[in-house]
Amino acid sequence: MFGIVNLTTAKFVEKNSILHKTNPITKFLIAVGMSFYIFLKSSFSIANYTTLFSFLTFLIILSRIPITSYLKDLKNVWLIIVLVFLGDFSLIRQPGIGTILSSFENALKICAVFLLFYVFARTTNPFVFVRTLQILLQKVRLQNTFLNDLLFVVQLAFRFIPLVFEETVKMMMLYKLRGWNLNTKNPFKKFFAIPVLVVPILVSALRKAERIATAMEARRFGFSNHVTSFYEITFSFSDVFLTAMTCLTITLLTVV
């Protein structure tokens, strides 16, 4: 639709699962830690890949989200996976079955990392994740004005970017009802149609920003470096369980 990016990729899905109840920081650290381990481990055997993808399948089952959703997410990044395979294949000058297997192995690693972060993204509310990260920084005394402002901007972005996207879609539908063809293949017509969409959306975004600034000023946001939060970081059995399963998987990948 007129070059609009598909924002449904790895979109958060509200469910009552163990992964949804797990603290966002725990899930993020597990995803990052597993990704580093996958890339740092030089070679994977068939048993290693079986263990790794069994762990990923276990996470997908725990998330209570259909596996087809994750397959659609992988489909959206198929070009990156293919480029990794071809790039690795072209950089190795010795042709043969070993080169193909090595390139295929790296492509599987990329798939595994993408699946890890897709599980994280689909089971984690981004607004809650940023808010939890902000509280964690307060707890470990790494809080400063710039970091607070940055995290607050990220929270606003997660909340208002989908609204801007919805307004863009509505604006496009209105122009279509008026007979304006936005799906033309002519690049010049597409280029001159951009201001028609951008100007009203920009005006609407500026009005929202003005209202947000007024509300923040009324609540004296930014007048003090000591920021408190109504929410608290909580860890539950799901955090311990997921961490234990991750440690068990890494142990099996190392030993097997």
Contact indicator for 135, 233 with CB cutoff of 8 Å:
yes
Amino acid at 199: V
Taking the CA atoms of residue 211, residue 216, residue 217 and residue 219 in that order, the dihedral angle to the nearest 10 degrees is 130
Co-location of 116 and 159 in the same domain: no
Range of the domain at 191: 144-218
Asked if residue 137 belongs to a domain, the reply is: no
Same domain, 53 and 106: yes
Average pLDDT, the chain: 80
Domain shared by 120 and 239, yes or no: yes
Same-domain check for residues 240 and 168: no
Q: Which residue has the higher pLDDT, 149 or 201?
A: 201
Examine the domain organization and report whether 183 and 240 are in the same domain.
Answer: no
Residues ≥6 apart with Cβ < 8 Å to 217? none
Same-domain status, 23 and 75 = yes
User: Is 133 inside any structural domain?
Assistant: no
Tokens 């929410």, residue?
Answer: 231
**DSSP, res 77:** T
Whole-number pLDDT of residue 3: 41
Q: 92 with 103: CB under 8 angstroms?
A: yes
Whether 225 shows a pLDDT value over 70: the answer reads no
Q: Are residues 59 and 113 in the same domain?
A: yes
Number of structural domains (the chain) is: 2
* Predicted confidence (pLDDT) per residue in 24-42, tens digit: 889 989 999 999 999 888 7
Residues 199 and 239 in one domain: no
Which tens digit of pLDDT belongs to each residue from 135-165? 777 666 656 666 777 777 777 777 777 777 7
For range 10-26, the mean pLDDT: 87
For residue 104, pLDDT beyond 60: yes
Residues near 164 by Cβ (< 8 Å), separated by ≥ 6? 201, 204, 205
The beta-strand segments (E) located in 32-79 are: none
- Largest interatomic CA distance in the chain: 68
* Same domain membership, residue 245 and residue 207: no
Residues 106 and 26 in one domain: yes
Whether 226 is in a domain gets the answer no
Pairwise CA distance, residues 156 & 22, whole Å = 23
Return the percentage of the chain with pLDDT > 90, whole number: 23
CB-neighbour burial class of residue 124 (10 A; exposed 0-12, middle 13-18, buried 19+) = buried
pLDDT at 143: 60
- The Cα–Cα gap between 132 and 15 comes to 19
Instruction: Note the pTM of the prediction, 2 decimals.
Output: 0.72
Spatial distance between the Cα atoms of 57 and 235, rounded to a whole number of angstroms: 24
* Weakest-pLDDT range from 7-16, 51-60, 197-206: 7-16
Query: Do 200 and 150 belong to one domain?
Result: yes
In a domain, 227, yes or no: no
Percent of the chain clearing pLDDT 70 (strictly above): 78
